[in-house]
Structure 1
Amino acid sequence: MTVTKSNLYKVMHDRKSVRKYDENYKIPQEQLEELLVEATSAPSSSNLQPWRFIVIQDEAMKKELRAIANNQEQVETSSAVIAVLGDTKMYENAESIFTKNFDLGYINEATKDLMINNSMNLYSQLPQEVLKNIVTFDAGLISMQIMLLAKDMGYDTVPMGGFNKEAFTKHFELADHIVPVILIAIGKAAAPAYNSSRIELEHIAKFM
């Protein structure tokens, strides 16, 4: 049996990290909204969906952000920068999330009550550092989904973990429970990305 090379396969391999963007091209906000709505189909810990977003499109604000993001050119020249954040108080949304699942007929009432109680009891007792690790992991899942969807829509992206998170938090006046995780520049490529090799499977995987 071989892997069926579907459109997803093509999108995965066509997606590259682009750092040169057409600074005159602006993605319509409704397309950015559509992108994020579709991306939220990503999985998350206990389905608590801790991701939060700041979408920076304003030119002056992108210029300010560039200084926070180690002067990376793509912050300013891309159509937008999607800041992916994590909410360490995501468990406070458990009741609304699982009640909605119940209302939609996805779960029964007993499961709804169990999931609400379990989420509140477990996550509210976890140390902040553990919660930060959880939301960072979940932010990574949705970030990859954002980049694949963007490529499928005809746009290019590059993820950036290299930025001053303390300065970002201060600049955007984030609450204590909101953690900045990654910045994703998105737009139309002005130059192709470099190809890159991958480590052979025999060096990174064991089959037991």
Structure 2
Amino acid sequence: MTTKNDSKQDYFDKIKEIKVSDEKPEPLTDQNFFTVAKERSSIRHYDPEHKMTESELREILETAILAPSSSNIQPWRFLVIQDQSLKEQLLPIANNQQQIVDASAIIAVLSDVEGYKKAEDIYGGIVKAGRMTEEIKDFYVNQIHQHYGNLSPAEATRVAMIDGGLVSMQLMLAAKAKGYDTVPMGGFDPVQFVKLFHVPAQYEPVMLIAIGKATQAGFGKVRLSVDEVTSWNKY
């Protein structure tokens, strides 16, 4: 009998068989936003010999965390996996996608559903920067605790996924601007991932992002037109 897991693995096995391109990736010509957005694509073939330094990864993450978040609570958390033995253990959890072991690093994007508890620190920093009074800060912090502290698990997860998606996109654009390629991956077992890496209970896995030096170009971008995906004012 074919199980759901078998079907999922068949899907990822078929992806491996697809011949993407014989072309090598073109180097980025400039760091203009529109160039970066146009040239970024999902890459699944990486140079396993290329190593990224911690400072390179930090610089990309520092740009990523400039992303917006709900009430500025910045709930994103990152687990950067560079150790090859850990990537090998992650491989079957992520449906044996080869980029898991070939990419320079795997960045697990997580979202803290209790991130609102850092509101005092965040808004206190705004006060210290002279951009908010203590009175206004206290109002914001109290409102945040009342609202987010009373969300249902489903609502809290929804907020976590939205903020996690925002920071993930910014991370991938930042990586491209620095000459690196990425691919976002939702195809992994979050339960097994949490177990393997001892992820705290309040952290929701959002996605895995492989990052490194591409050895093959990705698919050429083919998108539905703006007219096909956009309505104006109402449906």
Deviation at 1:174, TM superposition (A): 1.6
Equivalent residue number for residue 81 of structure 2: 56
Equivalent residue number for residue 66 of structure 1: 91
Q: Does 1:191 align with 2:220?
A: no
List gaps (5 residues or longer) in structure 1.
Answer: 1-5
Q: Does 1:126 align with 2:126?
A: no
Equivalent residue number for residue 93 of structure 1: 118
Q: 2:201 aligns with which of 171, 176, 185?
A: 176
Deviation at 1:37, TM superposition (A): 1.3
Q: Which has the larger radius of gyration?
A: 2
Equivalent residue number for residue 110 of structure 1: 135
Cα RMSD after superposing both structures: 1.2
Cα-to-partner distance string for 1:129-178 (whole Å, 9 max, x where unaligned): 11111011000000000000000000000000111011101111122211
TM-score (norm 2): 0.85
List gaps (5 residues or longer) in structure 2.
Answer: 1-30
Aligned residues: 204
Provide the C-alpha distance between the structure 1 equivalents of 2:226 and 2:65, rounded to a whole number of angstroms.
Answer: 30
Q: 1:36 aligns with which of 61, 85, 110?
A: 61
- Aligned-partner residue type, residue 211 of structure 2: I
Deviation at 1:196, TM superposition (A): 2.8
Equivalent residue number for residue 109 of structure 2: 84
- Aligned-partner residue type, residue 137 of structure 2: K
Equivalent residue number for residue 156 of structure 1: 181
Provide the C-alpha distance between the structure 2 equivalents of 1:174 and 1:56, rounded to a whole number of angstroms.
Answer: 13
Q: 1:9 aligns with which of 26, 34, 42?
A: 34
Moved more, 126-135 or 47-56: 126-135
